[in-house]
């Protein structure tokens, strides 16, 4: 089990990006959270298998139809646990 911490930059707020991430993560069976940050980025932490996390990362790079993703910054580590189902964080 691994952990992916990602920050997505671009036009990613107000376009359904968090819901897009939540749906994809739940489809992949991942645990974690996603939130909007005050600086206009979207941040997320997801835990699961490396293959599923790689699929999520590819989805982040494309985003939903109305989004424009400029860059996805990622940091990988061992899963820390303590995460429930994948949810929206405030």
Residues recognised as catalytic: 18, 36
Q: Is 25 helix (H, G, I), strand (E, B) or coil?
A: helix
The answer to whether the CB of 73 falls within 8 A of the CB of 9 is yes
Q: Are 2 and 44 in contact (CB under 8 A)?
A: no
Q: Using alpha carbons, select from 58, 78, 65 the residue that is nearest to residue 8.
A: 58
């Amino acid at each position: 089990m691994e952990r992916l911490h990602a920050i997505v930059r671009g036009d990613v707020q107000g376009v359904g990006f968090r819901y897009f991430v939540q749906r994809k993560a739940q489809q992949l069976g991942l645990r974690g959270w996603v939130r909007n940050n005050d600086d206009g980025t979207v941040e997320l932490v997801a835990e699961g298998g490396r293959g599923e996390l790689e699929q999520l990362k590819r989805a982040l790079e494309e985003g939903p139809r109305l989004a424009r993703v400029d860059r996805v910054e990622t940091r990988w580590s061992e899963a820390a646990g303590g995460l429930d189902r994948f949810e929206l964080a405030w």
